A and B are shown apart, each in its own frame.
Chain A
């Protein structure tokens, strides 16, 4: 079945460092891909999404490109800030309204 695998954390970076959080997926059809962010004590917020191959989602300096050839949707940011400290979830939708799959989450801590 469909699934999402993301790199394990925790990840600790210094402010202004480059961030990559890897995410790969397995799907039988043509899924949509998402990154969600969860700040401490809060629910999940949609960070960005891509609905077809080669689409690039971007928001708040974060980017991820839907790569069908490598079945990946890696999250990147060129210069992280302390306020980016959160847990990041990669997710996949099969677009049928039946299934929505999450990765296990990657905790990011950015230190000044």
Chain B
């Protein structure tokens, strides 16, 4: 079945640094990928829709300069959290929608900003 690989699974960084999270579709091409944020014991919050070869579409309230998304190929989307602060600590999950059959998720990235 469709596999979405997300890396790293856990990252700890110092405040002020930037962190890049990768999301790859391993056995299918994904022109669109989605990035979510999840706080403890809460549901997923859609941050942005990543479009291959064009700009990402951000949800209301999500800072595009803070969360940089690049979808340079049909199998890779990256989310960069720039100048991270402790309030950015969260669980970030990417997903892709192969053939519109079902949404497939990466295993998530736990970001801890100290």
Please report A residues at the B interface, Cβ cutoff 8 Å. Answer: 32, 34, 36, 41-46, 49, 89, 91, 93, 95-97, 100, 102-105, 107
On chain B, the residues within 8 Å of A91 by CB distance are 103
Residue of B with least CB distance to A49: B102
CB neighbours of B25 from chain A (8 A): none
A43-B106, A97-B97 known; 10 new pairs, CB 8 Å cut-off, are A34-B103, A43-B105, A43-B107, A44-B93, A89-B44, A91-B103, A97-B100, A100-B34, A104-B42, A105-B42
A89 touching B43, Cβ below 8 Å: yes
| Cβ of B110 under 8 Å from chain A | yes
Q: Which residues of B contact A43 (CB under 8 A)?
A: 6, 93, 105-108
A95: B residues at CB distance < 8 A: 100
CA distance A33 to B108 in the complex (A): 23
> Which B residues are closer than 8 A to A by beta carbons?
6, 32, 34, 41-44, 93, 95, 97, 100, 102-108, 110
Residues of A within 8 A of B100 (CB): 93, 95-97
Interface of A, helix, strand, loop or mixed by DSSP: strand
CB distance from A49 to the nearest CB of B (A): 6
Residue numbers in B under 8 Å from A41 (CB-CB): 108, 110
Known: A41-B110, A97-B97. A46 touches B43 (CB 8 A): no
Q: Is the CB of B104 within 8 A of A46?
A: yes
Contact between B97 and A100 (Cβ–Cβ < 8 Å)? Answer: yes
Min CB–CB distance A71 → chain B (angstroms): 20
Which residues on B sit within 8 Å (CB–CB) of A42?
A: 107-108
Residues of B within 8 A of A45 (CB): 105
Would you call A46 and B102 a contact (CB within 8 A)? yes
